[in-house]
Structure 1
Amino acid sequence: MLSALRLGQIDRYLLGQLLAGLVASTGGLVALIWLTQSLRFIDLVVNRGLSLAVFLQLTGLLIPSFVAVILPITTYVVVQFTYQRLASDRELTVMRAAGLSAYALSRPAMMLALISVVTCFVLDVWVVPSASAAFREEQFRIRNRMAAFMLQDGVFTQVSDDMTVYVRRRDSDGTLHGVMIDDARQKNAHATILARRGRFLPSTDAPRVLLLDGTRQEIDHQTGRLNILTFAQNVIELSSNKSTAQRFRDATEMSLGELLHPDPAVVTARDRPKFVVEAHRRLTAPLTAASFAMVALVAVLRGAFQRHGGLLRPFIAVLVVVGLLAVGLMIANLAARVPALIPLIWVHAIAPGMVCAWMLFVPELRLGRLSSLIPGAAA
């Protein structure tokens, strides 16, 4: 009973340090990545009039994807750093001398890895697709309505790749004076629109402007003549043809069911393997957290303890994790081209952890230390 109590206290002690390190490192890296990525949208706040609340809402939708990507890596870093520090402070040596096996010592790290796996699974399968869809939808809506606050007095503003707008003056009530629009959305009907006045109309999608007392000038490509149409009122949408069309959902926004069984009307047969690979990546990516944690445990607990520590095994562990990340990207790219390689995605996620577990625990099984492998057996 005393042995089981002692083991429980050690588990809580190690798990507490691991959890604190994981939260701190993951939170710090997420904040850093969020800061660097959000710089792309700073211009919308400073120069384009986007509100701070919308900015925070838009960039906040990116955070779940950041956490899902870096959590397996921070799990490895925290396990490696914490156990390496314990080894340097001789705490692992004392625990080993007290009769604790590699399994007993690694159990808190495996608990941490299980927490990371479950968290990544929830993020990859449910949270990230929903957040990604909301982000792209909000970004699409902001881009289509951007022209309402992009226009500046006396400046040629490129609303889209095929439309440029010039406004001589803009009153406080929103009335536009001296409006010129270069409209190249229709390749065979490139038009220049001039108007004395104009104002924006309420719209839930693409911005629309009502032009008053103007002309539409267009060159007939067949005859080469300039056609001029005079109008009293004319409504123009300030958006490109692409933006007004239905937005295409990419693989990051789709659910597992949509990825494994894509709609033939949306996904071509050529692109279907990419969606299937994305589905398997979501299911296997969380498992890499456990594999990376096992790599760290082998680096610290495998072999004899060195009195003054050592850098060789931690350095090799870092190379192994970096190599696994690179191999994972390579396998995903190859599987998208050759669907028969999709099982390698699962092998890559599971095999390193199984190999490390065999290296760490099987030698103790062979030595007959079953009592230390079974919780409470020493009582």
Structure 2
Amino acid sequence: MKRIDIYIMRQLGLSLIAVTTGLAALVWLTQSLRFIELVLDRGLSIWVFLELTGLLLPSFFGVILPITAFVVTLFTYVRLSSDRELVVMRAAGLSNWQLAKPALGVAAMAMSICFVLNLWITPASHEAFREWQFEIRNQMAGLLLQEGVFSSVGDDLTVYARDRDSSGMLKGIMVHDARERGAPVTILAETGRITSTPQGPRVTLFNGQRQQVERVVQPDGTTVMRLSVLSFQENSVDLARANRAEGQRFRNAQERSLSELFNPEEGVSIRDRGRFLAEAHQRLSGPITAVSFSLLALAVALTGQFRRFGGGFHLFAGCILMVGLLALGLGIGNVAARQSALLPLIWVQALLPGLISAWALSGLPGAPAAIRSYAR
């Protein structure tokens, strides 16, 4: 490998690592704030919070790498042009493709990393994240009750305890259970204790009352509400979510493997099948954009007439094109998830910018002479 290639590749590689890591950390910080309530409301430790949100990092890297490959390539080559280093390299007889070879090598490595992330690591980490989040919110929540706080176990079960002693005994307990539609139950008890079972957490209550509001149909056909009160010495309430059959949850497209996306199980709706297909095609086409976007950056930086103070224009033009492509990609992904006939557009958005950029780097063969002379 030529020293020039090593020189440019070193700059690209170090910049890619630094920019990708910094941007991923920024995205992780902004996204992890959505889960801070798990620490504040559920009483989890900061280490559990970091481990939980850390499972999101692979998905961030898979999305960020193609973008940072474009940014690093564009800024590196524009700087080389502004410092007149590209002028010297061209004077030495290097063509556009010879100058682009280091960037394409770095882009190929980024593409390989994205394939590994998209096809194996990201689905596994996303599934682990969703499983852990589901367990915390719907199962472990019963074991993480805080004194004097109304703790929600899912959307239809609320537990309150006035005090907890050193042995784990709860005092002054209120349980509001709305899992049975149309017949909410409120239980008040003097004391109680929470235990963990294979089916989920349960609370055993002592010396209390069970109040339930029921709809009663009168002989004349009218419906009235009736409050029934039952006193008890001991009662047990299941704190696990009872509205999910056998504790199972529906796995979304992001946490399924590629084979599951193309061949979902029976019972999946047509709408979800469309989302699965769109996710599968985006996983396969997304890594290719690392090379495609890098070619776009090279076309912006290496083509066009040399300007002594023209670096700013190239950066502005490249960033505008990149923002447009990202917005277009988001729109195509959303539309293709609803209309499977538009799935080829995902591949068009991933490949077409790179093909057009490669044509520009080759000198626009077949284009009018005036345009080809400007591209040199």
- Normalising by the residue count of structure 1, what TM-score does the alignment of the two structures yield? 0.89
After superposition, residues 131-150 of structure 1 pair within 5 angstroms as 131-144=125-138, 145-150=140-145
Q: CA deviation at 1:46?
A: 4.7
Aligned to 1:251: 253
Aligned to 2:74: 80
Q: CA deviation at 1:43?
A: 3.9
Q: CA deviation at 1:205?
A: 5.6
1:4-54 superposed Cα distances (whole Å, 9 cap, x missing partner): xxx611111110100000000000011111122222333433553212332
Deviates more, 1:192-201 or 1:304-313: 304-313
Contact 1:260 1:276 in 2 (8 A): yes
Contact 2:178 2:184 in 1 (8 A): yes
Distance 1:258 1:345 in 2: 20
Q: Which amino acid aligns with 1:283?
A: L
Aligned to 2:370: none
Contact 1:207 1:239 in 2 (8 A): yes
Distance 1:31 1:297 in 2: 27
1:134-178 superposed Cα distances (whole Å, 9 cap, x missing partner): 00001111112123223323x444444322223232112110112
CA RMSD, Structure 1 to Structure 2 (Å):
2.1
Contact 2:173 2:188 in 1 (8 A): yes
What SS does the aligned partner of 2:42 have? coil
Aligned to 2:146: 151
Aligned to 1:285: 286
Deviates more, 1:344-353 or 1:71-80: 344-353
Aligned to 2:211: 217
Contact 2:9 2:103 in 1 (8 A): yes
Q: CA deviation at 1:113?
A: 0.9
1:85-131 superposed Cα distances (whole Å, 9 cap, x missing partner): 11111111111111111111100000011011111111111111000
**Aligned positions, number:** 358
Distance 1:142 1:270 in 2: 29
Distance 1:133 1:106, change over 3 A: same
Distance 1:271 1:49, change over 3 A: closer
Distance 2:35 2:292 in 1: 36
Aligned to 1:313: 314
Distance 1:340 1:268 in 2: 17
Query: Is residue 2:351 matched to residue 1:350?
Result: yes
Q: Which has the higher contact order (CA 8 A, sep 6+)?
A: 1
Using the aligned pairs only, state the percent identity. 51
After superposition, residues 1-379 of structure 1 pair within 5 angstroms as 8-46=2-40, 48-144=42-138, 145-153=140-148, 155-204=149-198, 206-222=200-216, 224-242=225-243, 245-265=247-267, 267-362=268-363
What SS does the aligned partner of 1:70 have? helix
Q: Which amino acid aligns with 1:143?
A: R
Contact 2:152 2:158 in 1 (8 A): yes
Aligned to 2:371: none
Q: CA deviation at 1:187?
A: 1.9
Which structure 1 residue ranges, 5 or more long, are not aligned?
A: 1-6, 367-379
Q: Which amino acid aligns with 1:236?
A: V
Q: Which amino acid aligns with 2:145?
A: M
Contact 1:161 1:240 in 2 (8 A): no
Deviates more, 1:94-103 or 1:213-222: 213-222
1:161-220 superposed Cα distances (whole Å, 9 cap, x missing partner): 322223232112110112121221112322121222101112356321111222212233
Distance 1:47 1:74 in 2: 36
Distance 1:220 1:332, change over 3 A: closer
